[in-house]
Chain A
Amino acid sequence: MNELRPLATIGLLLRRFTLRHWRSAPRATALQIFILALGIAVFFSIRLANRATVSSFQNFAGLLTQQSDWQISAPAGELPVSVLGELRSALGDDAVEIIPVVETTASKPHTQREEMIGSRQSFHLLGLDLVAIQNLASASEADHGWFDQQSAGTNYAGGNQFWNLLRKKNAVFISQTMAEKANLKIGDAFPVVIDENVANLEVAGLIPTSPARPNPPEDLLMMDLPALQRLAHREGKLDRIEFIVADGADADARRGKLHDQLVALGKNRWTVFSPADRRASAATMTRAFRMNLTILSLVGLLVGLYLIFQSLDGAVVRRREEIGVLRSLGVTEKIIRRAWLLEAMLLGFFGGALGVLLGWGGAQFAVRFIGKTVNTLYYATTVNSARLDAGEFFIAIGLALAASLVAGWWPARQAAKIPPAQILSRHAENQERKSLLQSAPFALWLLATSGLLVLLPPLRFSGALRFPLGGYAAALGLIFGGGILCSQVLRQLAQMLRFAGNYSVAAKIATSHLRKTSSRHRLAAAGLLCAVTMAAGMIILVTSFETTMRGWIINTFQADLYISSDGAQSAATQNRISPTTWHAIVANPNLADANVMQSTAIEIGGISTMLVGVDLEFTRRHPNLSWQNPPRDEKIYHFAQNENLALASESFSERFRVRRGDKIKIPTPGGEKVLTIAGIFSDYGNERGSLVVERRHFAAWFSDELATSVIVMTRTNVSPENVQADLSAQFPGLSILTNRYLRSEILRIFRQTFSVTYALELIGIIVAVIGLGMTLSSILLDRRAELTTLRALGWQRREMAWATAIEGALLSTCGVAVAMIVSLGLGWILIYVINKQSFGWTLQFAIPWPQLAALGMLVIGAGTVVAYFVGRWGSGLAADREE
């Protein structure tokens, strides 16, 4: 016999065997591909949506000029305008453009007193020197400039329009998209809320665009810098300064030199970073959130892996005679193994390709939910579409191929081991070698290892990012261990239900099959367990979180009214209440007490966090902090004694690894301050952590009295609603919320952040239930001889369907029962290890029995129904049907 050429043989096997089987069972093949595709789609959509929200954090100034080489901003507070002159003098005649930037947010005024927070359209206001930025004209011609739009073709020669525009207080340039959507023309005005004021902005023109730059986003409003400073009460202050080094052969050296100069000049007054650093820092803010979502998005794929594995494993069993023939014809083990792996890869490829397609569609939905969460908790984004990304595309396809290879590896090995002699004993016993995957001691070892893994501390990365590797590994170990135990339980369950056969033949047949469980039974149960455990674990986490949040909200939000700028619609808002206004509020005779809060983002050791100033004495009069570690004495509450003291939130304590009594240095415009942590409190509203100090010290350090919010207690005989109405009429640019409303809004936002999680879990369960159906149909194919016999014995289709339904119900019940027990462990890991290490929040463990029961019933019900229909389909199978 001529020696077989491996490649040619594999090609032949692919055509004559794999594709033949696929053709003969197109629906089963399609389902396999679909399951894999669903897993990949979920992963891909979350990745794309994550990427879109990260990339939506853009440097708006870069949209109008060119990307800067360096930027500086104050580590705390703002930069004074006076540093501009200092910088120009220090840089001498170096060829460097210095671009001051002011940014703030605004929103449309409210139409009703209380409405969903974040539901109104927000704008990003960018203030640049409209005259100076023209020195940065891009090489390609813009379609229009800043100052030539107002003349509308009329004689411009008088030049008055130019000066008028420069002197106008409310002139704003808008995006083409906004102009079209809102039907705005030059000269039209529209109202926005900035700080506590409703301002009418007048459209001066469209933001110039250029083919060389991306189009400005719809929500970008551009103003002349001093006009925006005036509008936002920020005269003399800048958010950051950008620097562009002139191009040229030695530009890199000059960039390096500029960086060193800026660092040397800044000392502690500013930090120097590149636009990429800034994007990375924004990405760091959401990294833990995104990472957790990505990991969750892999649930569907993990469940799918079980199914692909069992499906290929089943195919090996069914095709063993055929493989035996091939082996007799001289096809080597290696070739057989490769042919199987190739088949798995083909599945992976088609599954991946379909998954990418589905995922891209899914990303358009996911991005809205993720964008909402990022907007509420991290920074302003109005992203509402996700773009296809080549990198993510290849990662998804690669993951699909890798997953299919992992799932195909064991079946390929099994197929390769089928001896040629097998052809001679057609009815030889299907010998299933006992593997680790059936070993109870191995399962117990996995569970024990998980128990140890939870003790590992998190991995720490730059930007105070923590990754609970031990927690995730423990969760995986728990799910795998539980899966193996599940197959053991399945057999025991069937044994226990043996008596049922006395009452029903269908039950007898069903339990007899389960007493000698095949690897496919075990895998289906394990897949189901995986999906249900993850879903139940997440339900426990979310319920625990919500229970904790409710307690915290009740304790923290005790004031009658909460007042903030109506322009504050996202976490990144810079809208504040002016001292004049908050003094007027505090002086209202209907108020019994008030606490004015100031806050600013600060950087400690390059890590961004929040510094908050409140009247600490107020927190003693109206205890509203939930303590992790209460202060040891009363000093923190006394103005004369608390200048060097601070309270830290639990997240802050975790991120910066400080405990009560530790000292921490914080930057202020007046220089560094050393604060001692007097106590640690719970705060579930801010993952970045916050440091709370006495407001009057804060105001002195930052020479700033702009308030972020004011919380007030009304007099006992005065209705908060009446005060709310009075204040709203007096200050139409303020958002004044009652206690009841704010609490409900916080819970709504909280639930909104978990909406994607629920969707991901649901998909995992759908995959698992489909997988159960696939498993049963594959098992019925194996049993076609038995089915023929049953038909010959007079069994009806319905009876055969019932037998399969009972088998499916038992399988699901077993998977769900074990999953419920395992999910308690997983819930514990999620709450006390993964969540605590990722976000630093201590949650109270709560088990939502009714929800878990409903989940269990739903899965068992769905499993039974699917099994019934598979049984009906199987009852009609011909004895010689191949697959």
Chain B
Amino acid sequence: MKKSKFFWLLSLMLVLSVFLAACGEDKNGTEPATPGDTDKDEPTAGEVKDEEQVLNLIMSAEIPSMDSALATDAVGFDLLNNVNEGLYRLNQENVAVPAIAEGEPTVSEDGLVYTFKIRDAKWSNGDAVTAGDFEFAWKRAMNPDTASEYGPYMMGGVIKNATAISEGKAKYTELGVKAVDEKTLEVTLEKPVPYFLSLMSFGTYLPQNEAFVTEKGKDYATNSDNLISNGPFTLADWDGTGLKWKLVKNDQYWDAETVKLTEINYDVVKEVPTAVNLYKTGEKDRVGLSGEYAMQYANDPDLVKELETTVFYFKFNQERNGKPTPLANVNIREAISKGYNKQDLVDVVLANGSVPANYLVPAAFTFDESGADFRDVNGDMAVPNADEAKAAWEKGLKELGVKEITLEILGGDSDVAKKMDEYFKSQLETTLPGLTIELKEVPFAVRLDLDSAQDYDIQSAGWGPDFQDPYTFMNLWLTDGGNNKMSYSNPKYDELVNASVGKLAMDPEARWEAMAEAEKILLEEDYAIAPNYQRGTMQLQKPYVKGVISHPFGGDYSYKWAFIEGKDAQ
């Protein structure tokens, strides 16, 4: 017995010593990896403020690029909006107001030439922000060597010569933007663009400091040392690909006294349960909720609900591999459009504050001069109705001369997307006898590929606006439009939509009516697409976080006006 106890003790010690030895070694090993740790508390320690103005946030993905010419994604645009500032910025009411531009621009009578005055503003390295910085940045975004994706996309058809440049018919230096002097920027448009000023707050139109960009060369914006900003914050501790970084208040910012936060710490967390756990333990101040999490926290006092301006819909592909699909029949499209319950979709399946969409242009997104929502013009269209769906289905089947149809729904591969697709399958198969739905779930990049190849029947897709005008949604389904990819074509639709940025461009009322009519044709006559829902988000946000502004397009959030109040009291 004695020996046995001895044996136990010894083996225990052996294991412990091995483990401890390992720990000791590793402890030394990690120190160089986290150099930021030691000075973490310093910036705030010296401050004589009532409360520590530090926000701790979670991002769902890394920053792919901080170069405004190369950014294409939500994270990049969100951060660019907080570290930089363009001619305009969305204010607390989400209205684009002059920012680096000093006052409203003068516009030529034909609506083609805008002349901006540049205010006295500085880059974080002390240089003045000049008109030349805008000219440089925009031309750089059109320079084929930059290989910008959003440059040609956002400027094409808007800034003079942009389309010709991207097609190789003009040199990028011929872009219609010119610094008349240090303080005056002259922008020439291709044609009158009614929403031009709202574009000026978008990331692609941000200025870049020419001297700095040229000096850094290809290293520009690859990490926070190779980046300067002219906005409320500067980026720090970002190694270019890492999962953490922070924003620090930019003292050189022209409106620095408005900015109250001294620091925003970001960490990338991709798993919702982990993110929620971090929120619960108080390490993070805000967390996005999905599906069942949203349901569980529905009555939580910290819950913040927001309606985004992204709309999700079914694209009905009318021609696949050169052959017409059953969806080329308008009755079949009508049947599917009306054949499923959208209310249950948002309440039970999504449960994240989304609302059913019986429209394409989102609610609470665009307003006319009297402040009326664009949605008030058209109201709901193609409202779900099982009986009408069935009737249309019977008719469609008769016209096609078949009894059964098998269709594929192409969707995303996230958990929520899968759950949604399963719901659609069950709903549609129940409502429409003879219909079999096959599901295909693929990563985002693959879905885009299949979309370009028009290799799908029904696609569950979504669109978020790039500027504040219904046109950002309406131009998607122009005949041969880059996003059409479903062989939809209606000359009347094309005419109306084109008129809204052509001959009606200067007549706000008439162009709204034209777009409203086009929306009706798209949804209620042709059933070309079937809108599903307008996405909402649910987040938990600590009650002491105040003044965070969320935006309908461009960057998701502005922290310029955010502050912490009452954290210490907790």
* Bound pair (A, B): no
Residues of A within 8 A of B (CB): none
Residues of B within 8 A of A (CB): none
